[in-house]
Chain A
Amino acid sequence: MATSGITRSATVSETAVFEFLLRQGDNALVLGHRLSEWCGVGPALEEDIALANTALDLIGQAKMWLESAVGEIDDSRSANDLAYLRDAWDFRNLLLVEVPNGDFGQTLLREFFFDAFQLPWLNALSQSSNQRIADIAAKAFKEASYHLERSAETVIALGDGTEQSHQRMSRALDYLWPYTGEMFVDDAIDTHIESVGIAPLPSSMRQAWNQTVDSVLSQAQLARPQSTFAHSGGRTGFRHTEHLGHLLAQMQVLQRSYPGATW
């Protein structure tokens, strides 16, 4: 498994919390960025505004997670340095959140898959042995509850709506499904984090996620894909998609072009 430069010589237990926080922060950052791409071009003003609210919540969450990440390793970098000066291989987000938005339906289906994980996950994290993590999770949990309500309702409406919308949602489902499995893969970091009471194993979220997803997909008249194949490589940083590089090239352009400048 690949590790980033700074963690190469360290043991899992030394870097696990930092890596864990990066995973939380990078998911929120990359997904928040993707949603922000919709601002101004949504299908209706009301939807445009709603999506921006979710994006703002996620960017706020990213800031909190990344700030606590730098606090954890006691290094001189800031949350912004982490967001704007790391290369793709140092990002620890799920592949699910970095793939392109596609149409509005695909964007909301991705959001739904993520929210359906985040809700039980953040709920569990709010009981974390690490007080800072518990506090962030408690705040993010409230936001995620509304995100899930909204994304689930949209997925149901678009799956059930018209012939055309149903087809589009079926295609989005086929595309996104193989990216959902990565959420539940435990690795050495997760095992360590679980052993010290910071968070449960991601795999333990499977059941709750299945329940939410099955219920929503059936209301949306969408058939849950049979395949259990899962892409991976985002959470570990071993192999991101090609898309993340483009996303970062855009997001980081000013910080990279004018080293040392403040904004």
Chain B
Amino acid sequence: MYAQLVKSEASAEDPIRLAEFQARIDRGEKIEPKDWMPAGYRKTLIRQIGQHAHSEIVGQLPEGNWITRAPTLERKANLLAKVQDEAGHGLYLYCAAETLGVSRDELFEMLHNGKMKYSSIFNYPTLTWADMGAVGWLVDGAAIMNQVPLQRTSYGPYARAMVRICKEESFHQRQGYHLLLHMMKGSEAQQRMCQDALNRMWFPALMMFGPSDKDSVHSAQSMAWKIKMNTNDELRQKFVDETVRQAEFLGLQIPDDALRWNESTGHYDFSEPDWDEFHDVISGNGPCNHERLEARKSAWNDGAWVREARMAHAMKNSERRLAAAE
């Protein structure tokens, strides 16, 4: 399986170079921007890092939805700082992608015209304040599970971006959980919001790890290249195992009747998410696909005059400096 995929992705390339390249990765060496790399490796990385970056900046929107309604000055500052971090993470990732020879503007264009995707979780709405807790706890929790191993990924700039992101992101999941803990000690209405948030977010959170391994096309090659460090199902299982305890501690009910501890596997059994829904959301029919993409596009288009003006001003300044020097 793995060898066949290598062949199909990189058939046009010199087999000796390919073998040398793979050997470097197997030795744990980092691949750096100017190093030779197979075209398939470059292409896959651009796709993966680009989608990761898009997910960060589209991910600002569902939480940004509540910044102006945050209920205390402290929560407002926490949430704003967190959503700001996501812009930062998007920025680091776009820069990592740019080392592969694609520009940030090109990546934005591919986001806007639908050629590139972002994580499907951000196509779900945030309907109550408890969603700010659930997003932090579940969505950031799932993201961290994905990102921690990526700190060891084979591509140097990507690995370094992930180190920085993981360091910064450690507060995100905690602030979400903290928020829910507090609300669960509150009124009946507040507790109801929390349960409602979990009910809506649980399966979309499980979908974040991607399709089941048996249906995931790119897994094997990406794992050989150490672009992907764990399979989708491994991470999903790890996520469920950790999250169940946390839900119990909060006093929340995970909306899955089939969820139970399995003594023989040492893991929780759980229901698969509805993969039809997953494919619907991926292909544009999620509850908020339209809103999210439109919001990104109008931010980009409305900001065009600012970007152009800043650039024009810098050019004028440098001309003025030259003229003054003459």
Query: Taking beta carbons and an 8 Å cutoff, which residues of A are in contact with B?
Result: 29, 33, 36-37, 39-49, 52-53, 55-56, 59-60, 62-63, 66, 79-80, 83-84, 103-105, 154, 156-158, 160-162, 164-165, 168, 250-251, 253-255, 258, 260-263
Contacts and interface: CB of A to CB of B under 8 A. Distances in A.
A157 B314 CA distance: 8
Given A40-B60, A40-B299, A105-B306, A250 B87 contact: no
B84 A56 contact: yes
Main secondary structure of the interface of A (DSSP, over half): helix
Contact of B68 (A36, A47, A84): A36
A104 B313 CA distance: 16
Contact of B84 (A43, A49, A157, A258): A49
Contacts of B64: 39-41
B91 interface: yes
Contact of A41 (B69, B295, B305, B311): B295
A158 B304 CA distance: 12
Contact of B190 (A46, A161, A258): A258
Contact of B83 (A33, A39, A45, A258): A39
A46 B303 CA distance: 12
A258 B71 CA distance: 10
A136 to B, nearest CB: 15
17 contacts: A33-B68, A43-B299, A43-B303, A45-B90, A49-B84, A49-B88, A52-B80, A56-B77, A59-B76, A59-B77, A83-B73, A105-B306, A162-B312, A250-B68, A251-B69, A254-B129, A263-B182
Contacts of B61: 40
Interface in B188-228: 189-190
A256 B27 CA distance: 60
Main DSSP-derived SS at the B contact region: helix
Given A36-B68, A52-B81, A253-B69, 16 more contacts: A37-B67, A37-B68, A41-B298, A42-B299, A44-B307, A45-B94, A46-B91, A80-B73, A84-B71, A105-B306, A158-B310, A165-B308, A254-B129, A262-B186, A263-B182, A263-B183
A115 B259 CA distance: 56
A254 B69 contact: yes
B10 interface: no
B80 A56 contact: yes
Contact of A103 (B90, B179, B302, B314): B302
Of listed A29, A46, A62, A263, residue having the most chain B CB within 10 A: A263
Nearest to A66: B73
Please list the 9 inter-chain residue pairs (A to B) with the smallest Cβ-Cβ separation, ordered nearest first: A43-B303, A161-B309, A165-B309, A40-B60, A52-B84, A40-B64, A43-B306, A254-B71, A41-B299
B71 A43 contact: no
Given A36-B68, A84-B72, A162-B312, A43 B77 contact: no
A261 B187 contact: yes
Contacts of A156: 313
A36 to B, nearest CB: 5
Contacts of A161: 308-313, 316
A161 B310 CA distance: 6
Contacts of A41: 64, 295, 298-299, 302
A252 to B, nearest CB: 9
Interface in B273-326: 295, 298-299, 302-314, 316
B75 interface: yes
Contact of A49 (B68, B91, B129): B91
Contacts of B310: 154, 157-158, 161
B45 interface: no
Nearest to B56: A45
Nearest to B309: A161
A103 B179 CA distance: 33
A86 to B, nearest CB: 13
Contact of A263 (B68, B72, B84, B305): B72
Contacts of B295: 40-41
Nearest to A43: B303
B161 interface: no
A78 to B, nearest CB: 9
A46 B90 CA distance: 10
Contacts of B144: none
B189 A258 contact: yes
B111 interface: no
B316 A261 contact: no
A22 B323 CA distance: 50
A43 B302 contact: yes
Nearest to A48: B87
B314 to A, nearest CB: 8
Nearest to B62: A40
B57 interface: yes
A173 to B, nearest CB: 15
Contacts of A47: 303, 306
